[in-house]
Chains A and B, each alone.
Chain A
């Protein structure tokens, strides 16, 4: 009865090795084709650099690029943390008082649907550059946290809520022992989306700021290399941005899995 089945926690039926190997093969084949086309047709690197050239640029320019990467990652992290705390706090506030929710929710939506690239130049006028960039990352990322947390807080099992009422639970107790744990899978889902979005927000703001003449993040490097026709460096910076996005998503997915693995359907194997 008490069968713990730790083996094969993959939700899909396909062996995990295949799921990992197939995209790698596709990636390698794509790179090889790219390299061949560039070499056979002798395309100059300022038009389309070969993967090998991009890789060499990445190593050669590492000191510049790594600094930019650190800048962008820091901005992303700050935006993400602000969005997580802000989104969850606002959702909790909405959950406590319908009045607050009705008063403020439309503005959260307005903030979400207005393209951040259009807000960024304004923010850059009124705020210090670094602050403006973080605020952009925050604006893009906080809405999924807010809406997911709200959804989670509202989807508490009705009978469990009745049980807490029966035993005279205080509002803080209900929040801590019932609402937050019940909302946790939703919150983590929101954070997973917010991680990627805060990177996007940071990049958008950096590009907007870069045209204003300052900044040193990866997005700024891409814009700058574009003006200088340093196409290999553009690709190298782009590659780093993609990798950063993948790593952020991966870390958040692993955290979510570790937190939920003992109880939530999303983190359980099919057969257990």
Chain B
């Protein structure tokens, strides 16, 4: 994993927004209101977490930003490069499941976005290998997904999201199914990648501890239909490491975030 001491927050201009949602709602065909109205602005280079109870629409919000589904009302704006043709090229998406193609090698899985974008095979392979190296899986390029552990599959999924060098990384509870030790390691690796690459990260989770540990801002959402309950800035000495996880400031933030989250769970019949 790459280590770097530079903090991307400083460089990012205060006005430059990577993603902005205004009055966004999502109503399913069944009439269920899943989301909103939601207003959210994410600055370039920022790491934010969307935190909320299951079914509050945080994954839906992520899919709206990715362009995988359309908002029922409101506007979704995603910053693009000059000359960028499609929405997807500036966005990397990591699903809750690794979502790998079981029929092909790890390298081919990572190369997929480039292959679909028409990038020549040799260049695609080189970039896939580089992306795999950045998540510490350089030796597993020729393995098949089933030969990897859960944590390694998630790393492959992350490498695939990074291979197009997107500006924005959307992560939908990516580490929820992993054991705690693996999850802590991936948290640290993700932070190191974020520091070195300076991407905008929107991270969906239902873990208070994970959201506080990772993000600069924790956006707490209400139960369905999801709206913003609280927007809590996490300020600490960067880069964060294990000492932050055990600090008093960390537990203090966790307490505040939990308190903000508590109303969403009150009066909920299903737990």
A-to-B contact residues, CB < 8 Å:
1-4, 157, 159-160, 162-169, 173, 177-178, 181-182, 184, 262-264, 268
Contacts and interface: CB of A to CB of B under 8 A. Distances in A.
Contact of A263 (B140, B144, B149): B144
Given A2-B143, A177-B115, A163 B152 contact: no
Given A167-B116, A168-B116, A184-B103, A263 B146 contact: yes
Contacts of B103: 181-182, 184, 262-264
Q: Which 10 A-B pairs have the closest CB atoms?
A: A159-B99, A166-B88, A168-B86, A263-B102, A167-B116, A181-B103, A167-B113, A169-B116, A159-B95, A263-B103
A173 B68 contact: no
Contact of A168 (B89, B96, B97, B99): B89
B111 to A, nearest CB: 11
Nearest to B114: A167
Interface residues of B, number: 34
B91 interface: yes
A147 to B, nearest CB: 22
A184 B102 CA distance: 12
A251 to B, nearest CB: 22
B55 to A, nearest CB: 17
Given A169-B116, A173-B116, A177-B112, A163 B99 contact: yes
A209 B168 CA distance: 68
B263 interface: no
B40 interface: no
Contacts of A157: 99
A166 B117 CA distance: 11
A166 B96 CA distance: 16
B247 to A, nearest CB: 33
A203 to B, nearest CB: 36
Nearest to B95: A159
A125 B233 CA distance: 83
A190 B28 CA distance: 36
A165 B68 contact: yes
Most A C-beta atoms less than 10 A away, residue of B63, B85, B117, B146: B146
6 contacts: A157-B99, A159-B97, A166-B67, A181-B103, A263-B102, A264-B103
A184 to B, nearest CB: 7
Contact of A160 (B99, B143, B147, B164): B99
